[in-house]
Amino acid sequence: MTAIGTRMPRAEDPRLLRGRGRFGDDFSAPGQLHARVVRSPSAHGELRAVDVTEAWSVPGIAAVITAADLPRNPVIPVRLAIAGTDLSEFLQPVLARDTVRYVGEPLAVIVGADPYACEDAAELVGIEIADQPAVLDARQVPARVAAELTRGYGDPAAAFAGAAHVVEIDLAIGRHSGVPLEPRCLLAVPGREPGQLAIFGMTKVPVWNRDLLADLLGVDETLIRVHAIDAGGGFGVRGEFYPEDFLIPWLALRLERPVKWAEDRAEHLVAVNHSRQQYHRVAAAFDADGRLLALTDDIIQDNGAYCRTHGVAVPELTAAMLPGPYRVPAYRGRVRVVLTNKTPCGTYRAPGRFEGTAAREHLLDVAATRLGLDPVALRERNLLTGAELPHERPISTLGTDMILDTGDYPALLAAAVSEASRLGYQRRAAAGAGGGRRRRGFGLAMFVEKSGLGPQETADVTVSRSGAVHVCSGGTSLGQGIETVLAQIAADALGADPRAVQVTAGDTAAQPFGAGSWASRSTVVGGSAVHQAALAVRRRAIELAARVLEAAEEDLDLAGGSVSVRGDPAVSLTLADLARAAAPASRYLSKGEPAGLSARRRFEVSHMTYPYGVHAAVVEVDPGTGRVRVLRYLVAYEVGRAINPMLVEGQLRGGVAQGIGGSLLEEFRYDEDGQPQAVTFIEYRLPTAAEIPPVDVLLCQDAPSPGNPLGVMGAGEGGISAVGAAVANAVRAALGLPGSVGQLPLTPARVCALAGAMGVTS
């Protein structure tokens, strides 16, 4: 029996369904205090005074700190450094000292016995700011450019000069973000040793955060233990190192009391990383037959007020991944990373690919119109073929060389078009085009994703006396089902029942060498490490069984959680028996041999693996109200091998929903003074069930990844990568626009304007 490939029910489900999950704010410690962060009400200005006198008058207040109280005011460094960029002067201090640069920037922290009282006290802090003009448009000249980077190869200028057709569009991508349903939370509990801390609430990259916190506090990293917890969604934003990730532990040590901070939603929407906001001017040169000669993209990224832990990873990924699945003889992508007086930016699920795919795929649809070609035919003509893979693109991204490793892009495009047709997508789109005031359109987009970023992941697999198999991974549980997937992988490699496998993900004491869950890496890199460690435990179990049974190892087999002699199934030992045979006092251990039925393995990989897919949408546009409804949505996705197809489909469907949010509804807007206009769920419009259609999934496992022993590619981001593109193309088709839709999200006002310009009205 193999667990891999089955739609196994999730191990996480029973506890979460019974309300027995343990999320950030579910942890408490005796004597804990609560923290409230006081934030800047102003977008830009000189911070003249933070007067905390009155705040102290609230009963139960234990501490009020400002930048002046910090021994030194640390800045948060970049986690994903890109060679050739120095961002040191743009990093965010944990508390503003002289200047505030966005609404929501932390200025002070109140700590007290009661969280309600802390909020009372926060309102009594006197803040004096001499306002300065706020920069809110990254296209404004002169711009404060934090970094400029270029990715490319060949001679695009020459190609454009000699081209039969040149097509150029502008497309702006709106500012939105992951917005997990659980706000951030942190509990820091001091231990008995100086500097010792237990931390609940750091997810995503717990080991990296632990090490940075240790450095900032000046303590040894092994004094800090980050515990595994349930997290209410990650999507790139949760678990990066934010100012609070220093302030709360620092306060706990200083006060010698546990300190808890639970973010509220209004804070979350101004404090957590924003993402996506970019302005693209993308252009393509074609020969007379519609073959791509060159591609260029000039991009401005509105990065907000500081560079945070992602540095310039998002703009770099945008430029590096822009050519996508196509044969592009010459390419140049240039990004200017501009600072504005808004919340700083970081990654959000499919960073750079949501934006770049929208720009490229929308350009291709406009080009198809100009060249008089069918959009699918234009793509077919330019896709790299299976015979051309692996394709080494002379571009590096995230410090790795880009080698599009495997697959058959034209075959997946054909399969997606045929599936859409079978499901009646094109027919449904055409049906509405004739009469009535509403217009329908069909849109399609293709993309290449990336996954499995190294350089390594480590896993420990241990069998305990009860026969339970314990996996300690460096990934973290963010809702993606990592505990289930790693259990399936471990069970097959070891020869155990997946229900006997318990996974601990993200505890820095249990797995001190973990690299975390992000970049669609956990199944690929973390899974491969678990696979190798479980295989090592399997070998160890057979070695021990040979000693106990006085048999030759080659005559033994391990399946279903027990080792038996081939041809004599009556003679067998369970994993529990073998764990006891490996116990310290066991007579089966030789002198000096370490005890335990366990193994630690490190899986290393120097290149990413590149899954790919096609999205197709049918939309209905009401030109009178500007409302866009997505009627049907299809994702065709090549994943190499699905460990649990149900979970892969879930990832894809969830990604589509977020993508529809970013394409139609979600946007962080600011008024002319830099005041954020989306600070509740009334203005920041997450899609509800009323806006999300049933999503069809065509899950393909035709191109196993050559880069890992499981043949898997990541599935975390392929559901969202091309939604902006597919929706923009469908709306453009519905309205019969000759050019670009100009901007995402396609809010009612923008759709009305587009329809009005076309003379399409109700």
Partner 1 sequence: MSTHPISLRVNGREHQLTVEARRTLADMLRHDLGYTGTHLGCEHGICGACTVLVDGQPARACLVFGVQADGTEVRTVEGLADGEQLSDLQQAFSDHHALQCGFCTPGFLMLAEAYLAEAYLAEDGADELTEERARELVASNLCRCTGYQGIIEAIVATARARRK
- Residue 492 Cβ, how far from partner 1 at the closest point, in Å? 21
- Quick one: which of 140, 222, 421, 688 contacts partner 1 (CB under 8 A)? 688
- Residue 58 Cβ, how far from partner 1 at the closest point, in Å? 11
In terms of Cβ atoms closer than 10 Å to its own Cβ (0-12, 13-18, 19+), residue 570 is exposed
**Structure token pair of residue 566:** 């081939």
Residue 264 is a binding residue for partner 1 (CB under 8 A): yes
- Residue 575 Cβ, how far from partner 1 at the closest point, in Å? 24
Q: Which is nearer to partner 1, 349 or 607 (CB)?
A: 349
Tell me the window of 491-499, 503-511, 610-618, 690-698 that interacts with partner 1 (CB under 8 A): 690-698
In angstroms, the CA 490 to CA 711 distance is: 15
- Quick one: which of 179, 219, 503, 639 contacts partner 1 (CB under 8 A)? 179
- Residue 684 Cβ, how far from partner 1 at the closest point, in Å? 10
Q: Name residues contacting partner 1, limited to 90-119 (CB under 8 A).
A: 116
In angstroms, the CA 246 to CA 66 distance is: 13
- Residue 180 Cβ, how far from partner 1 at the closest point, in Å? 6
Residue 361 is a binding residue for partner 1 (CB under 8 A): no
Tell me the window of 145-153, 164-172, 298-306, 650-658 that interacts with partner 1 (CB under 8 A): 650-658
Amino acid at 755: A
Nearest to 42 by CA among 111, 127, 167: 127
Q: Which is nearer to partner 1, 266 or 468 (CB)?
A: 266
Tell me the window of 19-27, 272-280, 364-372, 377-385 that interacts with partner 1 (CB under 8 A): 19-27
Q: Which is nearer to partner 1, 28 or 421 (CB)?
A: 28
Residue 29 is a binding residue for partner 1 (CB under 8 A): no
**Structure token pair of residue 305:** 């007020």
In angstroms, the CA 274 to CA 237 distance is: 8
Q: Report the DSSP pairing between strands 33-39 and 259-262.
A: parallel
Residue 499 is a binding residue for partner 1 (CB under 8 A): no
Tell me the window of 210-218, 510-518, 587-595, 689-697 that interacts with partner 1 (CB under 8 A): 689-697
Q: Name residues contacting partner 1, limited to 116-155 (CB under 8 A).
A: 116
In a 13 Å sphere around the CA of 720, the CA atoms on its Cβ side amount to: 27
First to last CA, the chain: 60
Q: Which is nearer to partner 1, 611 or 655 (CB)?
A: 655
- Residue 614 Cβ, how far from partner 1 at the closest point, in Å? 18
In angstroms, the CA 651 to CA 653 distance is: 6
Q: Name residues contacting partner 1, limited to 212-231 (CB under 8 A).
A: 230-231
DSSP state of 436: S
Residue 478 is a binding residue for partner 1 (CB under 8 A): yes
- Residue 653 Cβ, how far from partner 1 at the closest point, in Å? 4
**Structure token pair of residue 697:** 């999934």
What is the secondary structure of 675-723 as a DSSP string? -BS--STTTS----TTT---EEEEEE--S--TTSTT-----SSTTTTTH
Residue 656 is a binding residue for partner 1 (CB under 8 A): yes
- Quick one: which of 95, 657, 723, 754 contacts partner 1 (CB under 8 A)? 657
What is the secondary structure of 345-392 as a DSSP string? B---SSTTHHHHHHHHHHHHHHHHHHHT--HHHHHHHHBPPGGG-SEE
Nearest to 382 by CA among 413, 416, 417: 413
**Interacting residues of 695 by C-beta distance below 8 A, sequence separation 6+:** 633, 634, 635, 652, 653, 656, 657
Residue 10 is a binding residue for partner 1 (CB under 8 A): yes
Alpha carbon 384 to chain centroid, angstroms: 27
Tell me the window of 17-25, 76-84, 498-506, 606-614 that interacts with partner 1 (CB under 8 A): 17-25
Tell me the window of 101-109, 251-259, 292-300, 679-687 that interacts with partner 1 (CB under 8 A): 679-687
**Structure token pair of residue 45:** 């200005």
DSSP state of 323: T
Tell me the window of 449-457, 684-692, 701-709, 744-752 that interacts with partner 1 (CB under 8 A): 684-692
Give contact residues for partner 1 (rule: CB under 8 A): 9-10, 12-14, 16-23, 25-26, 28, 116, 178-183, 230-233, 235, 264-265, 478-481, 646-647, 649-650, 653-658, 680-682, 686, 688-690, 692, 694-695
